[in-house]
Amino acid sequence: MTQEAVLQVQMLGGFQVSYGQTEVVARNSRNSKVLQLFAYLVCNRDKMIRQDELIGILLRDEESENPVGMLKNLVYRLRKTLEAAGVTRACIQYKKGAYGFCAAVPCTVDIERFSQRIQNLRENPLPDDEALAQYLEAAELYDGGFLPRFSREPWVVGYSVRYQGMYGECLERACALANHTGEQERLLPYLRKAVKLYPYEETLAVLYLDTLYRAKRVKEALEAYEAICATLLNDLGIGPTERLRQQFDIISSGVQEVTPSVMEVRSRMAEAEREPGAYFCNLEVFTSLYRFVLRHMERSTHSVYLMLCTLKEEDGEALPTGERMRKVSESFRAAVKESLRRGDTYTRYSSSQFVLMLMEIKQEDCDGVAQRIRHRFHRFPKMGRVQLDFKCISAADMDEMMERRENQALASW
């Protein structure tokens, strides 16, 4: 007896449909009203959807004297698509002015399996190790956002928010369980995938960083923090949130084991290899270095200058976020690294600004440093259209200004 073919529908990460070994809808198919009709009917399968609701969903932007006729044409084309793959046209039913995708053929839908798995876990508590395995299996089912090619459609937004929320809940509970069982390593591939899918989602980023830290991957956690902050600056033009900064503070103080050897401490803290050029660090580390340098200057005659560089378009307008910002900032970092000495430090202050700390330098030499950076920066392809604006101030002057303000405040008090 020949086994009956099953209609397999995938909506997470894309829209793809197959019937047995036959592809009905390819993952890279173009958007169309026919596919959107198919997706909407599958999302509401075993229900009959009135014509006026389907017209409002599918033809809301269309001007037509006969919207019912347009809908009938879409249904006809959908049935032809299904029939061409061997699926019976009876799965698209019509009754009393309503259409529905009904169980005329065996069907599996990924969003149903995903949501059912989460619902079962909510209603049926399991031992920690079993629950963790179940949550990870559920996370594996989530292959991306709901119908990303239809993401601008109002009806899709509600579903998308719902399933993304369930995905986040799944990972949060898995992390809580792993913290009890000490199985953080099992979670890391799932959290890497989550951060890649949703690079701007704060909760997922914090879960990933915390899990790396708990798995004693401190160096990897610090690198992940840098990557997350760079993405926020490049794509959104914003810095890390307070929760991310707090997580960084936890990670950066995260040496877990005690060592009796100062040699081992020195070995761990040293750079892996002697790199030429200036030292780049994130803003939090740069701020700590700057405060230390100010304290050191109280007992030395060394001069230190802070240089702020703002990157702009050739006409003076702000640089747009996104891929162009990413390329410009990477080129500027490379130019600064080549232009400064190993004892100098720099960081990214905002999406389009960098701060440089120049050690043991005279004020008259700061212009030369700026020119050197400009020269190296504009050697990169298409960077000639970017304007670099440099401003410089002595760290000692800033320290004196702050001290005067404190004294004035105390005097007035």
Kind and range of the H or E element at 42? Answer: helix 33-43
CATH number at residue 169: 1.25.40.10
Report pLDDT digits (tens) over 62-98: 777 788 999 999 999 999 999 998 888 888 999 988 9
The pLDDT assigned to 90 comes to: 83
The whole-number pLDDT of residue 256 equals: 56
Q: Which pLDDT score is estimated for 255?
A: 56
Please give the pLDDT value at position 348. Answer: 93
Q: What is the DSSP string of 201-269?
A: -HHHHHHHHHHHHHTT-HHHHHHHHHHHHHHIIIIIS----HHHHHHHHHHHT---S--S-HHHHHHHH
pLDDT of residue 1: 37
For the chain, the first-to-last Cα distance in angstroms comes to 94
Q: Which domain holds residue 394?
A: 279-412
pLDDT of residue 30: 81
pLDDT of residue 3: 59
CATH number of the CATH domain containing 51: 1.10.10.10
Listing DSSP states for 291-355 in one string gives: HHHHHHHTT----EEEEEEEEEETTSPBPPSSHHHHHHHHHHHHHHHHHS-TT-EEEEEETTEEE
pLDDT at 396: 74
Query: Does residue 132 share a domain with residue 81?
Result: no
Which stretches of the chain drop beneath a pLDDT of 70?
A: 1-3, 103-104, 254-259, 265, 268-269, 271-273, 397-413
User: Do 373 and 326 belong to one domain?
Assistant: yes
In a domain, 370, yes or no: yes
Which of 71, 105, 139 is a domain's end point?
A: 105
Residue whose token pair is 């830290």: 213
Domain count, the chain: 3
pTM above 0.85, yes or no: no
